[in-house]
Structure 1
Amino acid sequence: MRPILSCCALLLSLAAAPAALAQSADDAGERRIMSSSAFLSGHPDLRYRLSGLDHFRKGDHEEAMVHFRRAARYSDKPSQGMIGEMYWEGTGVAQDKALGYVWMDLAAERAYPLMLAKRERYWNQLDADGRARALEIGPQLYAEFGDDVAKKRLERELRFAKRNTTGSRVGSVGALTIVIPTPGGTEVVDGTAFYDEKFWDIDQYVQWQDTDWKLHAEGTVDVGEIMSLDKPLPEDAQDD
């Protein structure tokens, strides 16, 4: 696919999976790890984003919004961008361009080029009343979904999942191996690859995602194949 920067097309393509632009064997291994239920169960940002995208592609936009909002609570910028796009276009919700702008402003919080471009386009198309309303409702959304609070939620989830899976309070991997179901059978992954710090340390995890979005989400891009899950997504957990 070679999606062009317009409407939901590029957001849908790039939001489908982090590191979707993987080319090397190492990157392909990362994609297999990240598509596993074991990985997704500890990463609610990705789990809810993928579930939201699944519902969106099926045309179930109301349910997609529910899952995107859950992902957004864990600082998932692509999901926040999808919410902004849906409010702006009135997809599955009553059209609200001021609210759409605020969500896209949240999505642009880390200066991803795609989100910044959309945010500026939205602002330029708002009238004076829309801009005033956006400035009024913005602080309330930032108080719940901004990085200052949302990253802390995600950090707790990452730390809890790693500790419980490894059985160590400090998250020590030791000789742990992970068995991942694949379409061709099962694959055994060394624990050091599965528990690479860039997936579980909040600062490294965010930096890794930021690099991917800032490097690739400009203009026209090749996104490669959308990853397939080894099994259905886990049932949604109750939000904290």
Structure 2
Amino acid sequence: MHSKALACLCLIATAFALPVQAQTADDSDERVIMSSAAFLSGHPDLRYRLSGLDKFRKGDFDGALTHFRRAARYGDKPSQGMLGEIYWEGTGVAQDKAMGYVWMDLAAERGYPLMLAKRERYWAELDADGRARALELGQQVYAEYGDEVAKARLDRELRFAKRNTTGSRVGSVGALTIIIPTPSGEEVIDGSKFYDEKFWDVDQYLQWQDADWVNNAEGTVDVGDVMSLDQPLPPDGDDGE
């Protein structure tokens, strides 16, 4: 694959992997929190996206496809967009532009500008047969990966992860502190930041993601250096699905 095409594909998955820039101390804490194994273990949407991107960059396209699909089951729009690009371009799979359109249409479900623009371009380039096939395929994909069902899966994971990490202090973290290993040493984070509802309440979590994606839909994306994909990610596990 040409490097330009690879960069385009990777941009979709990385653009919202972490907050775009750390402008304040709170932003910096968020970057540390989101790059931690403890956070990723409770957020399968991000965990599988990062794992899929890691495999994609290493040329393991079968593995990448599997992990992007897993992330997509939890409503991860960048991963759904990656699947759209993979099928549209035929990267490691048989090219299927109708399926590429279906995944990009799903990725545009929340109105992200980049996904909407790609969806419209894909549709314009499909012939009549391709459009008919895309409409047929879309029903099955939406039934399994659309927000209506994916949000419930993600909600279960977030609730389970928070309950099992806070124990009897669910809903009140008190003076709890979180120690997070980073490439530059340990970071101590206030528990109230780690357990901020925007990370654990599914509605607030998705609203927070949506706002960040839309606000940073244009221009240059800098995901920083907190998360290194050479670092091991938490085990994928079964997720009960």
- TM-score (norm. length: structure 1): 0.92
What secondary structure sits across from 1:228 in the alignment?
Answer: coil
Q: Distance in 2 between matches of 1:139 and 1:221?
A: 35
**Is this contact kept in 1: 2:13–2:79, CA < 8 A?**
no
**Higher RCO, Cα 8 Å, sep 6+:** 1
**Is this contact kept in 1: 2:20–2:221, CA < 8 A?**
no
- TM-score (norm. length: structure 2): 0.92
AA aligned to 1:109 is: E
Q: Distance in 2 between matches of 1:9 and 1:43?
A: 20
When residues 77 and 12 of structure 1 are mapped into structure 2, their CA distance, relative to the original with a 3 A threshold, is closer
AA aligned to 1:206 is: L
Q: Distance in 2 between matches of 1:83 and 1:183?
A: 31
| Shift in Å, 1:222 | 3.5
**Is this contact kept in 2: 1:7–1:85, CA < 8 A?**
no
> Identity percentage over the alignment?
72
Q: Distance in 2 between matches of 1:48 and 1:117?
A: 25
Aligned to 1:144: 144
- 1:171-213 deviation line (CA, Å, top 9, x unaligned): 4322221110012221211110100111001111000000011
AA aligned to 2:35 is: S
What secondary structure sits across from 1:148 in the alignment?
Answer: helix
When residues 228 and 125 of structure 1 are mapped into structure 2, their CA distance, relative to the original with a 3 A threshold, is same
Pairing 1:6-17 to 2, within 5 Å after superposition? 7-15=8-16, 17=17
Pairing 1:14-163 to 2, within 5 Å after superposition? 14-15=15-16, 17-163=17-163
- 1:39-93 deviation line (CA, Å, top 9, x unaligned): 0000000000000011111111111111000000011000000000000000111
Aligned alpha-carbon RMSD (Å): 1.9
Question: Tell me, which stretches of 5 or more residues in structure 1 are unaligned?
Answer: none
- 1:118-175 deviation line (CA, Å, top 9, x unaligned): 0000000000000000000111100110000001100000011001100037443222
Misfit runs of 4+, over 4 Å: none
Worse overlay, 24-33 or 221-230: 221-230
Number of corresponding residues? 235
What secondary structure sits across from 1:137 in the alignment?
Answer: helix
Q: Distance in 1 between matches of 2:67 and 2:45?
A: 10
What secondary structure sits across from 2:15 in the alignment?
Answer: helix
